[in-house]
Amino acid sequence: MLQLLLFNVTNGLIIGAFYVLMALGLSLILNLSNVINFAHGGFLVVGGYIAYTITPYVGFWGALLIAPPLTAAIGLVIERSLIRPLYGRDPLYSLLLTFGLAFILEDGTRFIWGAQGKPVTVPAFLAQPLSNEFFFITGYRLFMVATVAVSVTLLFVLLRFTRLGIRIRAGTLDLETVSALGVNVGMLRSLNFAAGIYLAGLSGVLAAGQLGLEPTMGAGLLMPSFIAIIVGGVGSLTGTLLGGLLIGVASGVTAVFLPAASEAIMYVLMAVVLLIRPRGLLGEEGMMT
């Protein structure tokens, strides 16, 4: 029983780490630009498929390095051409636009790579379980968590100590003042968007190794990221991190007792948080209301 619980908590943390990676990208874009990027799942899938396509040439490690920036580049083009005209308008419009974009990305990947699922091979030593005792932790899952940990640390360092990061954080609080101080806000938004999509692409490569690839997988992975943001508190990246891990563990533990409810528990958690702390765990009052 204890081992089963341990297994599921670990499992939950691993899944949670994955949600975090995706939710952080969403959160970055939401915080600065007030855009709910519905196409985030679509970008994830695109990242995964790009990795699948280039793996035969550059190997898994090469794909891990190259696919996310390529995805970010696609994101940048879309932001510059389609999303930029919508800043300053009712958030409804960017929501609808990215919603339509998600359709196009899903259908596009189906058109290019086919509706059939695609497996992605990971290096052999990663596919092994760690040991007999911890049979449930494959090297790949550990590697996923490590990648997430490194990326999250890098992101937070970037936001804390670099000029770009400081501007992004300042823009989250008051974009108008940042603009008045002479920062090119358009550029800031573009870079920030690209960073968010980079994280989506990275999630895509990681997910491809674990789950394989299907054109429709993005939509299913999107919802937990939404919940992670709401639970953690809109406007707080640390909150998103906490929220992601929390719902991961909650659904992992619930899977022990009531497997059918492992998805529903996330929503219950969200309802409880909204009931007793509407702003989310680490959300600040007044943000995004």
Select from 62, 91, 119, 186 the one that contacts other proteins (CB under 8 A): 91
Nearer Cβ to other proteins (33/138): 33
Q: How far is the CB of 119 from other proteins (least distance, A)?
A: 24
How far, rounded to the nearest angstrom, does the alpha carbon of residue 147 sit from its chain's CA centroid? 13
CB of 82 to other proteins, least distance (A): 6
DSSP result, 88-107:
TS-HHHHHHHHHHHHHHHHH
Question: Residue 79 is encoded by which pair of tokens?
Answer: 């932001």
- Closer CB to other proteins, 6 or 96, in the complex: 96
H and E: helices and strands count for the chain:
11, 0
Question: Which residue intervals of 114-214 are DSSP H helices?
Answer: 124-127, 139-161, 163-173, 175-180, 185-211
Out of 111, 162, 186, 187, the only residue in the binding site for other proteins (CB under 8 A) is 111
Residue 108 engages other proteins in binding (rule: CB under 8 A): yes
Whichever of 119 and 278 has its CB closer to other proteins, that residue is: 278
Residue 106 near other proteins by CB under 8 A? yes
Question: Of 20, 21, 24, 36, which one interacts with other proteins (CB under 8 A)?
Answer: 36
Binding of other proteins at residue 274 (CB under 8 A)?
yes
Distance from C-alpha of 157 to C-alpha of 189, rounded to nearest angstrom: 19
| Member of 76, 158, 164, 219 binding other proteins (CB under 8 A) | 219
3-state percent breakdown (helix, strand, coil) of the chain, nearest 5: 80, 0, 20
Q: What is the contact mask toward other proteins in residues 50 to 89, using x (rule: CB under 8 A)?
A: --------------------------------x--xx--x
- Least CB distance to other proteins at residue 78 (A): 10
Nearer to other proteins, 42 or 209 (CB): 42
Residue (of 110, 88, 92) closest to 100 by Cα position: 92
Cα distance between residue 240 and residue 243, in whole Å: 5
Rounded CA separation 146/263 (Å): 25
Cβ within 8 Å of residue 26, ≥6 positions away:
36, 37, 40, 196, 225, 226, 229
| DSSP H or E run through 113 | helix 91-113
Stretch that binds other proteins, among 48-56, 97-105, 116-124, 145-153 (CB under 8 A): 97-105
- Residue 101 binds to other proteins (criterion: CB under 8 A): yes
**Interface residues with other proteins (CB under 8 A)?**
30, 34, 36, 38, 82, 85-86, 89-97, 99-104, 106-108, 111, 219, 223, 226-227, 229-230, 234, 260, 263-264, 267, 270-271, 274-275, 278, 288-289
